[in-house]
Structure 1
Amino acid sequence: MPQASSLDARPDTGQPAPVRHTLGFGVPATSDPHHFRVIIPRGSTGKVSIHEHLGLQAALGASAVIDRVVLDRSRWTAIRAEVQRAFNARLVAHGLRPSAWKVGENPVDRLLGKELCVLAWAVERMNPDRIPVAVRNWVALRPEERWWLFGMTAMATGGVLDAGRGWRAALEHALGDVVQSEMLEIRAHRSHRLHEDSQPRLNLFGDDPL
């Protein structure tokens, strides 16, 4: 059974809720929780690495840490601000303390960590000019869509040495090639619909293909 995430609970409904102590970006302050860590070295050129720590979920005899991806500093710089903004909005909505990236180890909630990996995998070899497009498309995805993409990618090509293979390559094209808001405008024009979703997103789970 997966360990609970601080984001598994319903968002704040305006009712008083117990204060939950968390570390970094929403990691439960419990004994050895399943979470991710983003390692940011000192200086402006060191590469940023993302690792998944399975904690108590790790199978007996298996590695408790999975090295997921390493990003050039420039690529990390291109995504870090928007990721921080999106994560903090989610944390605040769940009544949790926001956080900020810092030099050293940055704990990240297991669900947010999966979402971060999807974007990091997409941009790790992407033309830098396309990274802003990838960030916009990532923001447009619903959390559950990001989790699904993480699961599909992690099964076969989720290691630090798997860049450019399988689902990793697919993520680069899916997030970096077309701005999803523009795609949905074309889709709306073709179908002459009167009502479209207020939040553009990739149609991963719908039954109405482009």
Structure 2
Amino acid sequence: MAKETIGFGFNPEESEHHFLVIIPRSPNAKVIVYERFAWQYDKEVQEIDIKRDIPKVELTKHKWKLIEDALKTEFNERLKKINYQ
């Protein structure tokens, strides 16, 4: 039976450490990647806690679009390696 995961194979029951990517609707707003160490089980949509969540990178939407597909491929390849070990 497959484990239920979120995004690129994230399972908060295994580890709450994860990265959360915020992609705003506005074309001029920045894409921000946060490193987080806690999962909010009581929230349907995760909320950023500016005291605990660490912004790691901020990108323009244009730059995000340039790397988005490569990131998806890389993350999926890493997951395949982990799942086959």
TM-score, structure 2 length as denominator? 0.68
User: RMSD of the TM alignment (CA)?
Assistant: 2.6
Which residue of structure 2 lines up, in the alignment, with residue 73 of structure 1? Answer: 61
Specify the alignment match of 1:48 in structure 2: 31
| Higher normalized strand content (fraction of residues) | 2
The one of 4, 8, 12 aligned to 1:29: 12
* Contact map agreement 1:21 1:29 (CA 8 A) in 2: no
Give how far 1:51 is off: 0.6
Q: Do the aligned partners of 1:35 and 1:52 also contact (CA within 8 Å) in 2?
A: yes
Larger RCO (CA within 8 A; separation ≥ 6): 2
State how 1:13-162 maps to structure 2 within 5 Å.
19-30=2-13, 33-55=16-38, 63-95=51-83
| Unmatched 5+ stretches in structure 1 | 1-17, 57-62, 96-210
- Identity, in percent, stands at 33
Which protein has the larger Cα radius of gyration, Structure 1 or Structure 2?
1
Q: Comparing both structures, which one devotes a greater share of its residues to helix? A: 1
* Amino acid in the other structure paired with 2:66: A
Aligned residue in 2 for 1:101:
none
Aligned to 1:102: none
Q: Tell me, which stretches of 5 or more residues in structure 2 are unaligned?
A: 40-50
SS in 2 for 1:83: helix
CA distance in 2, matches of 1:51, 1:42: 17
Number of aligned residues? 73
Q: Distance in 2 between matches of 1:38 and 1:87?
A: 13
TM-score for the superposition, normalised by structure 1: 0.31
Shift of 1:32: 7.2
